[in-house]
Amino acid sequence: MALKGKSILLGVSGGIAAYKSAELVRLFTKAGATVQVVMTANARQFITPLTLQVLSGQPVCTNLFDLEFESQIGHIQVARAAHLAVLAPATANLIAKLAAGIADDYLTTVLLATTAPVLVCPAMNTKMYENLATQKNLETLRTYGHHIVEPSEGTLACKEEGTGRLAELPEILEVAGRILTPATLKGKQVLVSSGPTWERFDPVRFISNPSSGKMGYAIAQVAARRSAKVHLVSGPVSIPAPRGTTLHRVTSAMEMHDLITRLAPQMDVIVMAAAVSDYRPAQMLPQKAKKVGSDLTITLQNNPDILAQLGRSKPQAKQQILVGFAAETENLIENATSKLKAKNLDFIVANNLTQSGSGFGCDTNQVRIIDRSGDSTELPCLLKEEVAERIWDRIERLFQ
């Protein structure tokens, strides 16, 4: 996990969005990070240090002249310990001070002393955000190398509509993780397929499977976090596309086939995690089939085998890594190994759908990775994001 074991300095300044900092602390700690909160005097008017101290498990820094903490020059220790400084919310006032190099309280002093990357999350009234001075200050911070998560649009605390709301917390978390992740896939073109396909037999009915797309989306997310250029080809799912990916929505296996066939030659890595329907109705009825009392017979025909076609048509001019998935209910190793060889894969990720915590719809997965040499590595039951990390570690070793 990108944030596991990292030390996050969370700077909270005095805006109404300061109440969201409590949930942000919880999310960071849940992701395995240690959080050191530093608050401005104005922030304490919106949320108490005690709340953030309980959630973070760390004393909250507020007073630059605290005799006990500062006896060891505590603000320098805080600055040195941070892997990343996150300012959420960052008010117009804090942004202006940071741009000008002012250090007149605990937070701005720490920010001037730290060498950690800084992630600025503005939150303010729309007119304040659009003010030329604020925009100039943000541009100055970009020239310093600071990262900015733009605020979102919506109803503000002042009841106005516009840009200025603090970005969604999962987005802040993801950007923080990306900053702290080495760019090991920079320059690589990656294609990930995910989700189910729908094979219609009339305008309102279709044949499909229960794939949620969570595994494929996690694979795409981790690749983007490692700075790959990611094309995510997704069947119909209800989860948002990971930040930094190019999403291509498809419905049927034929649509997925045509799109992947077009994109594949330019890719350095293709990971086929989609649960593509093997069959489609031979004929789609023009109108909804009515229930008339007799049985309905649907004739099915084969869909093209996208993975096998990719294996046969690997480009000769470049090394292209091809990874497949095998969801089985029996004879896991035998069936997965057979698929690996038949489809010319570099390795295959196999899981037994009958195992607890594995398969469709789960947030976890328990897989076995099998390569061309026959080497088989069984992973414990992990979150799908952790499984994705292991898959990309394996792919990067192949490049090396």
Q: Give the number of residues written for the chain.
A: 400
pLDDT score of 292: 80
How far apart CA 285 and CA 282 sit, in angstroms, is 10
Span 108-142, pLDDT tens digits: 999 999 999 999 999 999 999 999 999 999 999 99
pLDDT score of 290: 86
Q: Is the peptide bond before 265 cis (omega within 30 degrees of 0)?
A: no
Binned at pLDDT 50, 70 and 90, residue 359 comes out as confident
Tell me the two tokens of residue 69: 């903490």
| Helix 106-113 vs helix 92-100: crossing angle, to nearest 10 | 40
pLDDT score of 153: 86
DSSP, collapsed to helix, strand or coil, labels residue 49 as helix
Contact 175, 243 (CB under 8 A): yes
Span 215-254, pLDDT tens digits: 999 999 999 999 999 999 999 999 999 999 999 999 999 9
Dihedral in degrees, nearest 10, Cα atoms 279, 283, 287, 293: -80
pLDDT score of 162: 82
Tell me the two tokens of residue 385: 């994001």
How far apart CA 124 and CA 130 sit, in angstroms, is 10
> Which residue in 367, 330, 335, 364 sits closest to 350, CA to CA?
367
Contact 180, 6 (CB under 8 A): yes
- Return the number of other C-beta atoms located less than 10 Å from residue 326's C-beta: 22
∠ CA 295-285-276, nearest 5°, is: 90
Residue 71 has pLDDT above 60, yes or no: no
Span 27-36, pLDDT tens digits: 999 999 999 9
* pTM, 2 dp: 0.89
Residue 211 has pLDDT above 90, yes or no: yes
Residue 374 has pLDDT above 90, yes or no: no
Average pLDDT of the chain, as a whole number: 93
Tell me the two tokens of residue 148: 């900015």
Binned at pLDDT 50, 70 and 90, residue 353 comes out as confident
How far apart CA 106 and CA 183 sit, in angstroms, is 32
Residue 196 has pLDDT above 90, yes or no: yes
- List active site positions: 158
Domain boundaries, the chain: 7-179, 189-399
| DSSP state for residue 213 in the 8-state scheme | S
pLDDT score of 133: 98
Name the CATH architecture for the domain at 189-399. 3-Layer(aba) Sandwich (3.40)
Q: What is the mean pLDDT of residues 74-99?
A: 92
Q: What is the mean pLDDT of residues 371-388?
A: 92
Stretch (H or E) spanning 255 = helix 253-263
Q: What is the mean pLDDT of residues 167-182?
A: 95
Share of residues in the chain with pLDDT > 90 (%): 82
The superfamily in CATH containing domain 7-179 is Flavin prenyltransferase-like (3.40.50.1950)
* C-alpha 33, offset from chain centre: 17
How far apart CA 127 and CA 119 sit, in angstroms, is 22
pLDDT score of 67: 54
Q: What is the mean pLDDT of residues 348-374?
A: 89
Residue 70 has pLDDT above 60, yes or no: no
- What single-letter amino acid sits at 322? L
